[in-house]
Amino acid sequence: MLNERKPRKRICYVPIPGGVASFLLFAGIFFTACQSRQFNIFDEESQSRSASPTGTAAPSATPAAALGHARDKVIVQLFDWPFREITAEMAKLARLGYGRIHVSPPQLSIARKEWWGRYQPVDYRVIEGPLGNEDEFKEMNAAADKHGIDIIVDVVFNHMANPDMHNHDSEITSAPEVLDYPGAALLAKYGLPGPLFDATAFHDGFCTRNYSDRNQVLNGRLCGKPQDKGLPDLDHTKDFVVKAQKEYLARLRGYSVDGFRIDAVKHMPPAAISKVFDPADFPADMLLFGEIIADVNSFDADLEPYLRDTRLAYYDFPLLTTLRGAFAFGGSLKTLVDPVGAKGALADDRAITFVANHDMPQNGATFAHLFLYPRQNRVRLASEPAPDRRDEALAYAFLFARKDGVPYVYSDRGMAGGLQTDDYKNEHRRSDLAAMIAFRKAVVGTPQALVWESPETLGLARGDSAFAFINKSGLPFTKTTLDLPGLKAGTYTDLLSGNTVRVAAGKVKTFEIAARSAALFVLKK
């Protein structure tokens, strides 16, 4: 079949003028992807391939599997949603089938309403800010428990707030740096017994400028402009730093929190992760996951040490790369048959699989090129047609149909972020995602078998009572007879369209999938 879509343009991405470290929470620098060379979305990360992380102790044994349970519990990220709004949404989330909610960092942070304020902590001992207070946080967790939904909390342990932002509520000043958290005024306001951290809690105050230097990546600050003081980098060789962070985690667990997403993992050595998230402190089935941007080229240097020496699962950025290639013009869905074997995906028990997370729309000039569909870093006029997001929908269908990993859905409140876009406003309410969740629940734990592959189409059987089909082509896919060996005889319903097919003797007669669409069939009971 021919792919009728237009080729994607190679677009150069350049730094945002006036950016500060507040907006560069994960990568630390801007990417560049241009026509003049091979398109690679992981240039900054791949610079560090020549050296593995320092401060890593040789493991005595492989950590416990990170995703050993509840594979049917799909994660939804309700990015920057206030706790009360999440509580009000809880019944709907349960009806849609979501099993886990990833919430934004709840700890006291700088006094800024922008989303990135939550990623500049001031004190772990206080839960209060634009998202809500401690009572509202508890109410959200109680509502989640009532509906059988897990709460996953975003934690920021690599750094504390930019001293300028914290002490002066401005971006850059000439005032002397003061590393005192939370500061005298907040100590008095909240009746805290004493400072959480002072200057002794941090590495020396230098900015990370060379991302091929692992010492800078692990011990330096995330900074913006040359005169920016950056985000002070916590020293996890200090026992009191680890103790404060572990106490925060224990307190959240006491509020019935069910797991944690760890921010800026690549800026902490595996040994630090293992100290703070000591497997002895957590049930083996507690979900712990983090973010490390890497692809097949940087897999061994950037991801492997963390996969080996920590028990965390991770966002499956290698699979995102594979998906982008597979759904691109001229790409082949055959690359999705066994992406794990080619290091184009994480292993089953370590993979949080996704097509978007909050970095992509909110840090537009840096991460816009991670999307599966063409984007431009500007406001879209009301008269313009919306970008074609069908590749994203097809990729979601693949993630929910495959056996490996746990699917993750990104949804926000309509953010005026880096891309000035409402594309993901209430994304989790989409009916097709609800159908995919239902398919996931029907097939979880069943084996996967390949029943059809071509550059444009892919078919997967799940167990003996379900199968999925994806057609990225601009033309319908038709087969006079489709072989489905091992499937039970009976009528199968596509949960996405409601269409039915009849399987008899392991075959379907006159099978057709519309252009640029997916189908998720389950046997009628």
Q: Report helix, strand or coil for 517.
A: strand
How distant is the alpha carbon of residue 500 from its chain centre? 34
Question: Could you give the C-alpha distances from 483 to 223, 322, 450, 504, in angstroms and in order?
Answer: 56, 27, 11, 10
Helices assigned H by DSSP within 108-149: 134-146
DSSP string, 387-429: P--HHHHHHHHHHHHSSSSEEEEEEBS---STT---TTBTGGG
Contacts of 444 (CB under 8 A, 6+ apart): 71, 72
Output DSSP code: residue 303: I
CA distance 444 to 41: 32
Please name which of 422, 425, 431 lies closest in space to residue 412, comparing C-alpha atoms: 425
Contacts of 336 (CB under 8 A, 6+ apart): 322, 323, 326, 398, 402, 458
Q: Which residue has the tokens 């990623």?
A: 119
Q: Of 44, 128, 154, 291, which residue is the catalytic one?
A: 291
Asked whether 122 and 182 are in contact (CB, 8 A), the reply is yes
Active site residue 263: yes
Q: Which helix (H) or strand (E) holds 273?
A: helix 270-276
Question: Beta strands of 448-516 (E only): which ranges?
Answer: 448-453, 457-462, 466-471, 477-483, 490-494, 500-503, 507-513
Question: How many Cα atoms are found within 13 Å in the side-chain-facing hemisphere of 510?
Answer: 1
Q: Report helix, strand or coil for 126.
A: strand
Q: Which residue has the tokens 């709907």?
A: 92
Q: Which two tokens stand for residue 122?
A: 């001031």
Q: Report helix, strand or coil for 352.
A: strand
CA distance 141 to 145: 6
Task: Tell me the pairing of strands 313-315 and 351-353.
Answer: parallel
| Residues linked to residue 517 through DSSP beta bridges, in sequence order | 471
CA distance 211 to 293: 13
Task: Tell me the pairing of strands 313-315 and 287-290.
Answer: parallel
Torsion from C-alpha of 419, 422, 426, 432, nearest 10 degrees: -90
CA distance 267 to 221: 9
For residue 98, which amino acid is it?
Y
CB atoms within 10 A of CB 94: 16
Q: Which two tokens stand for residue 281?
A: 């402190």
CA distance 337 to 21: 39
Q: Of 80, 128, 233, 263, which residue is the catalytic one?
A: 263
Question: Looking at the annotation, which residues are catalytic?
Answer: 263, 291
